[in-house]
Structure 1
């Protein structure tokens, strides 16, 4: 967005807010003009509670997650009043925190309870629950030694996502991918991901595909990628250098149903070369809010026949059914008031 024009820079004066109430009034002006609030509720361990006013859904500028990127995050889906795969995402969240050397201000059971209570307070029945662990506020140095405690934040976002049935175009990313340490840790340092997404959009594509230094298929900017071979096998890249997506792992658990039906011949993870991947019969992104997005063209060349694949949609149906009616181990009913 371009900066507002100023007729005479020397005459421009920055407004000084005289009080917190004046500032809050200004913040409310912004949100009062919004037809539908995108954020239902937020939790902040700095505030020590749940916030329902979007004007107050803020974090301190001296939080090390803000100015040093020292933080991790994760996301769970809210569908029909249920939290999907909350425990799987929370476990990965804490593994990421351990790798980032961030200690949680609460034990896992309390984090889980906060997230459930936050979702209930939001009254959101469809959307996403996003949450972060930060080294915490304290100063602007590199080391978090000056931070009194780590911080936990979470927000509920109203999102009307739906099953993806249209195919998209992708490109091979020229942006260097993260090293395995950072790629397997779901941390807030997403600049490579952002640039990779922008790179694709600038070329008229939806997103991109990363190739590792050995020439094997890695992942998309915030999603896993999967393929159907001409031999009708579902193949996902191995997870040793990329993030092990919760949805991708669930797909590997559900896909054998199609093997039993005779529609798939097998399910596996493997190192795939670019030639093998581009020669696949079908291709898809796999991620929480998709949960599957068909890919029909890569670097201006069609995947398979250039149409959304039958098996891609069958896998998508499996995941959507699991999200909507799956077992209690995967779906947690939110206790709305």
Structure 2
């Protein structure tokens, strides 16, 4: 089989079959809420060395997202089984990294039954290039703001309350990524690779379009913006901080501005599949490569394998 052909497994949300799906055949119905409303959740996992990296944190966030979206509780064992079957199949094709995406939707309007599946595909050439060469970014307001005083917001974004303000999906990793993708297209039309969002009122650094911002500072310090309210907690950042603290790094979430990005030793965007890409330019200002670039990269890669 072609090594680039997707591996797809359907997961029955209420239990039952976990079945391999032929990628050449249709899977989603015309009235599925994923298509008509973007109503659903997803998680993206890195497959490396024959196993899903950072699995427990992804499971925790997946379950929290389902609760926030009032979807039936995912049957964790079934998602793990489907993932491991897909990974086993991938491992027979290649020993390279792969991308695994779990998708869980409200389902068909005509049946009221949720839909769920996972796909496993090769890591894209764009991601591989960005890992090697880094990214040039622009900063921008996100275009909307979140009132963090609304009831349940802080608890929701930290995975605490299962019943936040019912009109909010903040804290859930939803399928509605149209604005993020539009921001990336705009950046690329300007010869850039990515966007770092800022709070328009304070200039506070929030997050990347699909990533968490990390800075490395002298004295073995790692910093990231404070999550909660208007920043989705990152699974890769959490794994990094837990691992780095046991290896002598001082890790802390702190509010930061663009100035604090520019005076850092290095700035990184971390996410599940890109893992770690160094920011080489912010708003036209070039950032020199730090002396410890390889050390930081190895630290983040090691953190994802420390399970």
Normalised TM-score (structure 1): 0.74
Q: Specify the alignment match of 2:182 in structure 1.
A: 195
C-alpha separation in 2, matches of 1:129 and 1:178: 30
The answer to whether the 8 Å contact 2:11/2:79 transfers is: no
What is the distance in 1 between the residues matched to 2:11 and 2:198? 37
Q: Which of 297, 302, 305 is residue 321 of structure 1 equivalent to?
A: 302
- Aligned mates of 1:36, 1:118 — CA distance in 2: 13
The alpha-carbon distance between structure 1 residues 117 and 232, as it changes in their structure 2 partners (threshold 3 A), is closer
Q: Which residue of 2 aligns with 1:170?
A: 137
8 Å CA contact retained: 1:178, 1:192:
no
The aligned residue for residue 91 of structure 1 is 60
CA distance in 1, matches of 2:178, 2:219: 37
Q: Is the contact between residue 101 and residue 119 of structure 2 (CA under 8 Å) also seen in structure 1?
A: yes
State the alpha-carbon separation in 2 of the partners of residues 178 and 71 from structure 1.
21
1:70-119 CA-partner distances (Å, limit 9, x unpaired): 10000221112122122210111110111111114x52223322322333
Structure 1 segments, 4+ long, off by >6 Å, are: none
Q: Pairwise mapping of residues 140-151 of structure 1 onto structure 2 (< 5 A)?
A: 147-151=111-115
Which whole-Å deviations, capped at 9, do the CAs of 1:235-272 have from their partners, x for residues lacking one? 100111211111110111122355x3xxx5x3211111
Q: 1:255 pairs with 244, 250, 254, which one?
A: 244
Q: Unaligned regions of 5+ residues in structure 2, if any?
A: 149-167
Equivalent pair of 1:62/1:137 in contact (CA under 8 Å): yes
Paired residue for 1:137? 108
Q: Distance in 1 between matches of 2:114 and 2:106?
A: 5
Residues 41-80 of structure 1 correspond to what in structure 2 (within 5 A)?
41-45=8-12, 48-56=17-25, 58-80=27-49
1:128 to 99, 118, 133: 99
Distance 2:192 2:177 in 1: 19
Partner of 2:291: 310
Question: Any conservation in 2 of the 1:165–1:308 contact (CA below 8 Å)?
Answer: no
Per-residue Cα deviation, 1:293-318 (whole angstroms, up to 9, x for no partner): 0112100012xxx3222344322102
Q: Is 1:223–1:285's contact at 8 Å kept on the other side of the alignment?
A: yes
Match of 2:215 in 1: 227
2: CA distance, partners of 1:152 / 1:74 = 12
SS at match of 2:210: coil
CA distance in 2, matches of 1:318, 1:231: 15
The 3-state SS of whatever aligns with 1:119 is: helix
Conserved? CA contact 2:18–2:78, under 8 Å: no
Q: Give the deviation of 1:52 after TM superposition.
A: 4.7
Q: Distance in 2 between matches of 1:36 and 1:120?
A: 13
Larger radius of gyration: 1
Match of 2:203 among 208, 215, 219: 215
Give the direction of change, closer, same or farther, for the CA distance of 1:57–1:86 in structure 2 (3 Å limit): farther
Distance 1:193 1:80 in 2: 30
Asked if the contact 1:294–1:309 (Cα under 8 Å) also holds between the matched residues in 2, the reply is: no
* 1:217-296 correspondence runs (5 A): 217-230=205-218, 233-240=221-228, 241-257=230-246, 260=248, 266-296=250-280
Alpha-carbon distance, 1:69 to partner: 1.1
Supply the distance in 1 between the matched residues of 2:42 and 2:173 (Cα, whole angstroms).
6
Distance between the aligned counterparts of 1:41 and 1:132, measured in 2? 11
Matched, 1:152 2:110: no
